[in-house]
Amino acid sequence: MANHKSAKTRIRRNARAAAINGSRVGRIRTFVKKVELALSANDASAAEAALKMAQPELDRGVAKGVMNKNAVARKMSRLTARIKAMKAA
């Protein structure tokens, strides 16, 4: 257990930050899941609309430091490619 006042404060701050970051990641997962559901339903227009909603959330996750920039770029690229392939088929 922490003995110093600063350590006790840090524990509280870390817990608060973890809760906020967890909420952010969960929100991002929800938006990506909406894109995945639209893709599995073969609904290109809904998938495209969901991707437009998910992109700012993913970018915000990078800006806030809860997600890696390259991981988000890879995810966006793969989702976009899947939507494009669905439209072509």
Average pLDDT of the segment spanning 5-21: 96
For residues 71 and 82, give the distance between their C-alpha atoms in angstroms, rounded to a whole number: 17
**How far is residue 79's CA from residue 39's CA, in Å, rounded to a whole number?**
9
Amino acid found at 77: S
Confidence of residue 50 (pLDDT cuts 50, 70, 90): very high
* Residue 1 confidence class, pLDDT cut points 50, 70, 90: confident
Does the predicted TM-score (pTM) go above 0.95? no
Write the CA distances from 69 to 13, 32, 63, 87, integer angstroms: 25, 16, 9, 27
Identify the structural domains of the chain with CATH numbers, from first to last. Answer: 5-88 (1.20.58.110)
